[in-house]
Amino acid sequence: MDLSLTAAQAEFRDAVRAFLAESLPEDIRLTTKSQGHLNKDQYQRWHAILAKKGWSTPLWPVEHGGTGWSPVEYAIFDEECHGAGAPRVLPFGVSMLAPVLLSVGNDAQKKRFLPGIQSGETWWAQGFSEPGAGSDLASLKTTAVREGDYYIVNGQKTWTTLGQYGDWIFCLVRTDLKAEKPQTGISFILIDMKSPGVEVRPIIMLDGGHEVNEVWFTNVKVPASNLIGKENSGWSYAKMLLQHERIGIAGVGVSKEQLAGLKRLASAEKKNGKPLIDDPVFKSKIAEIEIELRALDITNKRMLIEAERGTDPGPVSSMLKIRGSEVAQRLFELKMDASGLYSLPFQPFAGEPGNNEEPAGSLENARSTPVYLNTRKISIFGGSNEIQRGIISKMVLGF
């Protein structure tokens, strides 16, 4: 299998590079490159730029505003964006909710919700995880009781990423309390976050950022027309959504950018008067992770080529998720190791807009610990690595 770019793919890559060089705002690039916390305005400005170009929803069907790119072209776009310092388009509306709407939503729901997702004007949050119902999502307890033309929703969601900016939230709710199997009593519903009874409470992360939240629902009145698909069929829709969430979850583009940063850092730091990158032990660690990343990249490209041919990737997507998160976490560990004593001061807001405090060491040093702490989560979201191993054992070994 030839994994090198064709002439047409190389031409596409060059066009993406030219667009990014011309269109990516400098403040967004700097914040992303320093691994700072983007604000709502920055996310939505970049989304609007992509939407104007017609690139905000590349994986949607062409008739609904997709680009018609092949999976390989999408991977090229993703890697070039990471390399240039462009943030990824948030997945909640574009690549999680939208595929469900396109598959099982009715015409009125598509007409109402898809345009705001494509333009980025409507900010969507994901309401799945609960205390005690994260990886074991079937144990969720948030209820939606039908009363005439409405559902009355009560319960709590947690780890709601960027929910403080949310306009709407798509939720899994329990609509049948007597179902024999817990999965069969779950429905998929859309809730306006401005509704009375919705409360968002911040969770401040170890890296100092307000990235996730608790969302509480107290007698929230939701129109029954906001139910997506059939009542009590939400578990099937959630599985569909999670398959789309895992697109690109190997994070090859991010890890390539972090590997380059690790090499810069190791070249700048000294050990016994020589650059750390010349230390045989540390050099071997870099070589080992680079080999693993190269293998991940090749496997990812193989899967994309197979997907382009219409082949179901099967357990490979789970394998990529596991290995991708492990490679990324190892890269951030090495960056913290390379920073040495400079990784000790906790500088969560170094390099962010409006913060003029001079960081201890370089900006790469200052961000090493906060980013390391933040990325401990990546082996959990999108289906924990333990769950992915279970999926692989069932699909490959049959048990």
In a domain, 113, yes or no: no
CA 109 to chain centre: 24
* Residue ranges making up the domain that contains 23: 7-89
Task: Choose the final residue of a domain: 89, 113, 145.
Answer: 89
In a domain, 347, yes or no: yes
Do 168 and 271 fall into the same domain?
no
Do 213 and 270 fall into the same domain?
no
Q: Give tens-digit pLDDT for 282-316.
A: 999 999 999 999 999 888 888 777 766 767 667 78
Do 280 and 363 fall into the same domain?
yes
Do 262 and 361 fall into the same domain?
yes
Do 252 and 227 fall into the same domain?
no
Do 253 and 371 fall into the same domain?
yes
- Model confidence at 50, pLDDT cuts 50, 70, 90, reads very high
In a domain, 160, yes or no: yes
Do 275 and 191 fall into the same domain?
no
Higher confidence at residue 248 or residue 277?
277
CA 332 to chain centre: 17
Do 255 and 389 fall into the same domain?
yes
Mean pLDDT of the chain: 89
In a domain, 94, yes or no: no
- Model confidence at 247, pLDDT cuts 50, 70, 90, reads low
pTM summary value? 0.89
CATH number at residue 177: 2.40.110.10
- Which token pair is 361? 């060491």
Q: Quick one: which of 143, 384, 125, 325 has its CA closest to 333?
A: 325
Higher confidence at residue 101 or residue 207?
101
How many domains are there within the chain?
3
Catalytic residues, by residue number, are 245
Do 225 and 305 fall into the same domain?
no
Higher confidence at residue 244 or residue 398?
398
Query: On the CB side of 92, how many CA atoms lie within 13 Å of its CA?
Result: 22
Q: Give tens-digit pLDDT for 151-164.
A: 999 999 999 999 99
In a domain, 117, yes or no: no
Most confident of 94-103, 360-369, 389-398: 94-103
Task: Choose the final residue of a domain: 200, 232, 264.
Answer: 232
Q: Give tens-digit pLDDT for 219-243.
A: 999 999 999 999 999 999 987 777 6
Q: Give tens-digit pLDDT for 319-332.
A: 888 999 999 999 99
Do 226 and 266 fall into the same domain?
no
Q: Which residues of 257-345 form beta strands (DSSP E)?
A: 270-271, 274-275
Q: Does the pLDDT value for residue 391 go beyond 60?
A: yes
Give pLDDT, residue 246: 56
Do 282 and 222 fall into the same domain?
no
Give pLDDT, residue 279: 94
Do 205 and 261 fall into the same domain?
no
Q: Within 10 A of 61 (CB to CB), how many other CB atoms are there? A: 11
CATH number at residue 268: 1.20.140.10
Task: Choose the final residue of a domain: 203, 232, 261.
Answer: 232
Give pLDDT, residue 357: 66
Give pLDDT, residue 197: 98
- Model confidence at 263, pLDDT cuts 50, 70, 90, reads very high
Q: Give tens-digit pLDDT for 62-98.
A: 999 999 998 789 889 988 999 999 998 999 999 899 9
- Which token pair is 96? 């999680």
Pairwise CA distance, residues 368 & 34, whole Å: 10
In a domain, 15, yes or no: yes
